[in-house]
């Protein structure tokens, strides 16, 4: 398998991880909005922290994918 094929496979794998993180992030935000009034406060704080972490992961993976795409142009 050549370098270009490995890069393409890595990008494909990261796109799957990116999609899963987006789905989890959106689901968690929807849960927070739905249960704002009846959930314990520590659940809301914990989920807010998790949303921030997952969103940071989404941004990081997005930047990494874009960097790998730029590397493909140089090959």
Structure confidence at residue 9 (pLDDT): 92
* pLDDT, one tens digit for every residue, the chain (75 residues): 678 888 889 999 999 999 999 999 999 999 999 988 998 999 989 999 999 999 999 999 999 999 998 888 877
Tokens of 44: 């809301």
- pLDDT of 73 reads 81
Q: Where are the alpha helices (DSSP H) in the chain?
A: 3-34, 41-74
Taking residue 37's Cβ as centre, other Cβ atoms within 10 Å add up to 5
How far apart are the C-alpha atoms of 9 and 28, rounded to whole Å? 29
For residues 1 and 52, is the Cβ–Cβ distance under 8 A? no
Q: Which two tokens stand for residue 13?
A: 């794998």
All structural domains of the chain with their residue ranges: 3-74
Q: What is the pLDDT of residue 39?
A: 87
């Amino acid at each position: 398998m050549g370098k270009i094929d490995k890069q393409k496979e890595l990008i494909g794998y990261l796109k799957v991880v990116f999609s899963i993180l987006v789905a989890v992030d959106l689901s968690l935000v929807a849960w927070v909005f739905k249960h704002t009034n009846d959930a314990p406060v520590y659940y809301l704080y914990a989920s807010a922290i998790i949303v921030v972490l997952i969103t940071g992961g989404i941004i990081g993976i997005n930047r990494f994918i874009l960097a790998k795409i730029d590397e493909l142009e140089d090959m």
